[in-house]
């Protein structure tokens, strides 16, 4: 059970509901730009301009090339496998290195965020649990799989790993991370369930009692446009491996 006393995963949290649909490259670029400028933990909820597919930094382009004609493809800065986007609720959470939460292990942060999501889902009667399927780091280059798909190209939602969110044995939320000297970025997707209009608000509420609403300002957007043009939107980045 969650409560106003228990849900202080972060002492303070900026919350951004980004209602402007972006291209896949721009979404990834905004996430990186937010990490560059973050001074306190921030969560951004966002959607996609068109059907998209993101795959982890260590993934192989050949594993997703067949989708190029039907989806907006992008290589993430974070790890993990293939995620299909379009009908999902996607979020990014950034933790600056100056925040005390940054000192925690990656898997501990992953688990805490997903427990908060489970608590938010439980408010509507959903019996969501944090899984203990495979003992692995969500940012790792190699993740155990249950299918014949290679580690680099595994489908995230077909292959639950430790601390993913499950309902009735089915994965409905997963995430991947990137840790730098500036901070930690976690990118997550929630899908395969009825995404009620207030799920994002309830999720944020479970993460912190001290929340401030903010927008993606022009400084972030300008930096993101640079990153999209020079990195995420380029063929060299897409075909890096």
Active-site residue list: 156
- Residue 109: beta bridge partners? none
Q: How do beta strands 165-167 and 211-213 pair?
A: unpaired
d(CA 204, CA 227): 27
**CB-based contact 110:3 (threshold 8 Å):** no
d(CA 55, CA 39): 28
**CB-based contact 204:211 (threshold 8 Å):** yes
Best CA proximity match to 226, nearest among 33, 20, 18: 33
Structure token digits, residue 75: 């290589």
d(CA 27, CA 44): 10
């Amino acid at each position: 059970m969650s409560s106003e006393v228990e849900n202080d995963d972060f002492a303070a949290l900026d919350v951004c509901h980004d209602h402007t649909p972006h291209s896949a490259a721009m979404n990834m670029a905004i996430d990186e730009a937010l990490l560059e400028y973050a001074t306190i933990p921030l969560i951004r909820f966002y959607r996609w301009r068109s059907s998209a597919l993101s795959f982890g930094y260590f993934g192989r382009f050949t594993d997703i090339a067949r989708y190029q004609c039907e989806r907006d493809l992008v290589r993430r800065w974070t790890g993990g496998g293939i995620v299909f986007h379009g009908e999902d609720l996607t979020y990014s959470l950034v933790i600056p290195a100056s925040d005390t939460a940054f000192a925690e292990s990656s898997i501990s942060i992953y688990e805490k965020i997903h427990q908060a999501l489970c608590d938010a889902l439980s408010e509507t009667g959903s019996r969501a649990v944090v899984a203990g399927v495979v003992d692995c780091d969500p940012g790792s280059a190699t993740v155990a799989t249950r299918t014949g798909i290679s580690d680099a190209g595994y489908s995230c939602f077909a292959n639950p790993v430790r601390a993913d969110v499950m309902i009735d044995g089915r994965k409905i939320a997963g995430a991947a991370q990137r840790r730098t000297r500036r901070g930690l970025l976690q990118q997550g997707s929630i899908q395969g369930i009825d995404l009620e209009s207030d799920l994002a608000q309830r999720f944020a509420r479970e993460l912190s009692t001290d929340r401030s609403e903010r927008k993606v300002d022009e400084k972030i957007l300008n930096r993101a446009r640079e990153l999209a043009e020079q990195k995420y939107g380029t063929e060299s980045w897409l075909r890096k491996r």
